[in-house]
Amino acid sequence: MYICLCKGVTDTQIRDAVTDGACSMRDLRERLDVASQCGKCGQDCKTIINEYRQSASPGFINAAQFSLA
- In terms of pTM, does the model score above 0.85? no
Q: What does the DSSP assignment read for 42-55?
A: HHHHHHHHHHHHHH
Is 11 inside any structural domain? yes
- Calculate Rg over the CA atoms of the chain: 12
Q: How wide is the angle at C-alpha 6 spanned by C-alphas 11 and 2, nearest 5°?
A: 25
Model pLDDT for residues 6-15, shown as the tens digit of each residue = 999 999 999 9
Is 61 inside any structural domain? no
Is 62 inside any structural domain? no
Q: How many domains does the chain have?
A: 1
Is 51 inside any structural domain? yes
Give the confidence band of 69 by pLDDT, cuts at 50, 70, 90.
Answer: very low
Which residues face 2 on adjacent strands? 10
Is 68 inside any structural domain? no
CATH number at residue 31: 1.10.10.1100
Range of the domain at 7: 2-56
